[in-house]
Structure 1
Amino acid sequence: MSEFEDTAFGAGQNHIFLGAAHEDNERRTWMVIALCSAMMVAEIVGGGLFGSLALVADGLHMSTHAGAMLIAALAYTYARRHAGDPRFVFGTGKLGDLAGFTSAIVLAMIALLIAYEALSRFLSPVPIHFGQAIPIAVLGLLVNLASVWLLSGNHHGHSHGHGHGHEHGHEEEVHRIVGSAGVFALSVFEDGVPPVFRITPDMTSSKLNADTVSVTTIRPDGAHQTFAFADCGGYLESKDDIPEPHAFRAVVRLPDGEHQIEFEEHGHDHDDAQTAANRDHNIRSAHIHVIADAAVSVLAIIGLLLARAFGWVWMDPLAGVIGALVIANWSRGLMRDTGGILLDMNLDRRMAENVRHVIEDNGDTVLDLHVWRVGPGHMSAIVSVATREAQRNPGFYRAALKRFKGLSHLTIEVNPARAAA
């Protein structure tokens, strides 16, 4: 007979899986809407008063810009207000991804419209009023740059922003210890978890008693720290995490005596899986909208200046085609990323493998494992385990997996090993 347990680590039982910067991003998005709306009204009213069709046209264009931002803002507001609504089985954390997918479709449509208009002007050139067009393009660029600044922050969803702060992906540094008891590998293990020491015997070495093993680190400033170990089945693991940086001399005490090893700090690289798991695609879609608009403004200004200086009227529609291709490419990437989340694609295979290793390194078998994202910085997992240890209930595995910071929701089923046969 199996045991079952469903637990939300990071959010309690309310299943609230909103991003760490949810309210901050919501506020920034509403600020951009206010800026765009003010600009839209000023251009339409000013165009009507001064008889400028170009101003009115740009004001209407600004209204579409504000409408795209409204999708993101309403998604933030709705997700926050309904975060505890029990009708949403896994919370409202993925609503931002749905809004991002919708924005990606809007961006694709905008790219098609720009491309259509540009190609039409290639075939049927129209006279350009440079005196009005260039200042309006510059004004639009300034508004977009202000919008980019408002949306910028630690959580705007680019590759260098991570919601909960970044994880470090180190190459595991392994040192071999050869002694009378056998050959052992000492490593700093931090593959998606807080860094710890691991001591693993080779196939011919005898098993170590955790009580007879310790590691003392001696840092350049003379600071000492001693680490005790716990038996994890096929290896020993330190009970305490290793503080950064990982540059120190380690004194390893084994039954046959002491061994000294030098550890060097390695460069830190952002992990793509962690980025994908933490990225807020709603603010990312808003960011892409304003950056795309800014890029189109820059291309338009360049095209208009060249057309006026050299009479190259074709430069204006060419700039439009280039802008359409850039927007289409960004739209494709946003659609791909958000679509994968909406279809519960596993974005962090490393976490899935780590969950599997933690369980199977204890001598158990993972029968079924699913890991998917339920919100920015929040992953969920369903694990079915077969074990021969009668005392291992779901709480045992929950405690073992609690080290994974991004694993906010966990469902565990424990079966006797004979059930797997």
Structure 2
Amino acid sequence: MNNLYDAPFELDHQHVFLGEGHDKNERKTWAVIVLCSAMMLAEIIGGHLFGSLALVADGMHMSTHAGAMLIAALAYTYARKHANDNRFVFGTGKLGDLAGFSSAIILAMIALLIGYEAVVRLLSPIPISFSEAIPIAVVGLLVNIASAWLLSGGDHHGHSHGHADGAPHDNAAHDHGDEAHIIKTSAGVFVLSIFEDGVSPVFRIHAETTDANLSPGEMTVTTVRPEGTRQLFSFAKKADFLESTTDIPEPHAFKALVTLARDVHSVAFEEHAHHPENDGIDRRDHNMRAAYVHVIADAAVSVLAIIGLLLAKSFGWLWMDPLAGLVGALVIANWSYGLIRDTGANLMDVSPNDVLPSKVRAIVNSAGDKLIDLHVWRLGPGHFGAVVSVVTQETTHGPAFYQRLLRKVTGLSHITVEVHTPQSV
């Protein structure tokens, strides 16, 4: 008999997988476009009024800079406006990666163009109008510094994915939600975890089987810390779970002696990182990263150009200007390669590391079941999807059982569970 289940726990849920700073990054990118466009118009108009071809050329260069920013800004705006569009099966979180990939291609083309021009000028040096070129390079550098300042300061972390049942998807800075312990007793199967989502940390216990019925008076937890200190925790009824009446003091590394229906069980809790950037979850906003790289690359080229022009003017080394351009081209090409590699991997659903898969395996193993298939991929900054196939002999370990456990894992925002019996595989 095939006893296959394939249904998400939430019957009605959203697919909004945008980064936490999405709206703020969108506004910053449009601000940079306004700045670059103003500078572009000033240089082109000024160049025509004063007969400066160098000013016109730099203005045209600034237009390509604004165009690259426009790709990022439009991606932010489109992703936000269509975040709830059902045509996007897994939301619009990957539009940032697509925009970043496109920007990286443009960067690579700019690097090739600068490199080609530098080689041509090394082979055939041309006269340089230092009085015009140096001030323009300085102004360009100042504009890029201002643009970098506008784009900086973003902590492109993911945000929690809201579920229709109102269950918390723990993304707190100090989160133990992914460390859940399954406890099997004569009174049923329960899950014990530490809950800390904008509140003081407390123990929570959920019943995982329909026959499990536990009153607060039948449960206690005694923590035993490495130095031997013990603390007893009592519980109170809260909706469909029990919660400790006393907060858990830091640190959260201890052995917990759990008394359930007169049975005593021992489980271990480990201290987790206090900063989300240390949990191995990729929260990078590659769209903002690409925009920032564009600005920094332009600033680097401006710095190298100023150095090359000053040396060429002081010592007559005309070759210094194209040499500086060649070095700049190599730097830009390196940054472009990094962007193409990372955004391309996300677009092709390459799993970035084993952090989330290892947590899923640990949960399945702790339940005493067998994991036969697992797919984890990035949906957007800080958001990951997972398809989990499990073989179990426990009639109570259905999709809902694993949804309750897996939705506590920080970073897993969309989970589909298949549960098989041994006869169905």
C-alpha distance in structure 2 between counterparts of 1:410 and 1:279, whole Å? 21
Report the counterpart of residue 299 of structure 2 in structure 1.
294
- Residue 384 (structure 1) aligned to one of 386, 389, 393: 389
**1:206-355 alignment, distance < 5 Å:** 214-215=222-223, 226=233, 245-246=250-251, 270-271=277-278, 273-274=280-281, 277-355=282-360
Deviation at 1:243, TM superposition (A): 6.3
**1:149-160 alignment, distance < 5 Å:** 149-155=149-155
Deviation at 1:271, TM superposition (A): 3.6
Give the SS at the match of 2:350.
coil
Q: Which amino acid aligns with 2:103?
A: S
Q: Which amino acid aligns with 1:4?
A: D
Report the counterpart of residue 204 of structure 1 in structure 2.
none
Report the counterpart of residue 23 of structure 2 in structure 1.
23
Q: Which amino acid aligns with 1:114?
A: I
Report the counterpart of residue 201 of structure 1 in structure 2.
none
RMSD of aligned residue pairs (Cα, Å): 3.8
Say whether 1:373 aligns with 2:355. no
C-alpha distance in structure 2 between counterparts of 1:113 and 1:280, whole Å? 27
Say whether 1:105 aligns with 2:105. yes
Q: Which amino acid aligns with 1:419?
A: S
Note the alpha carbon deviations across 1:213-263, whole angstroms, 9 max, x for none: 6205699xx9967499xxxxxxxxx999996852889897999x9xxxxx9
Say whether 1:61 aligns with 2:66. no
C-alpha distance in structure 2 between counterparts of 1:46 and 1:112, whole Å? 29
**1:136-175 alignment, distance < 5 Å:** 136-155=136-155, 162-164=157-159
Give the TM-score taking structure 1 as reference length: 0.77
Give the TM-score taking structure 2 as reference length: 0.76
Gaps of 5+ in 2: 160-170, 177-192, 195-199, 204-217, 236-242, 265-269
- Cα gap change, 1:265/1:3 in structure 2, threshold over 3 Å: closer, same or farther? closer
C-alpha distance in structure 2 between counterparts of 1:30 and 1:105, whole Å? 21
**Cα contact 2:273–2:279 (8 A) shared by 1:** no
User: Which segment drifts farther, 79-88 or 30-39?
Assistant: 79-88
Say whether 1:412 aligns with 2:417. yes
Q: Which amino acid aligns with 2:223?
A: V
Deviation at 1:367, TM superposition (A): 1.2
Note the alpha carbon deviations across 1:83-123, whole angstroms, 9 max, x for none: 11111111111011001000000000000000000001001
Report the counterpart of residue 187 of structure 2 in structure 1.
none
Give the SS at the match of 2:8.
strand
- Cα gap change, 1:418/1:215 in structure 2, threshold over 3 Å: closer, same or farther? same
Report the counterpart of residue 118 of structure 2 in structure 1.
118
Note the alpha carbon deviations across 1:101-151, whole angstroms, 9 max, x for none: 000000000000000000010011011111111110000000000000111
Note the alpha carbon deviations across 1:317-355, whole angstroms, 9 max, x for none: 111011000000000000000000000011231111111
Say whether 1:358 aligns with 2:366. no
Deviation at 1:273, TM superposition (A): 3.4
Q: Which amino acid aligns with 1:88?
A: F
- Cα gap change, 1:35/1:244 in structure 2, threshold over 3 Å: closer, same or farther? farther
Give the SS at the match of 1:14.
coil
Give the SS at the match of 2:293.
helix
Percent identity of equivalent pairs: 57
Report the counterpart of residue 181 of structure 1 in structure 2.
none
Q: Which amino acid aligns with 2:48?
A: G
Number of residue pairs aligned between Structure 1 and Structure 2: 364
Say whether 1:129 aligns with 2:129. yes
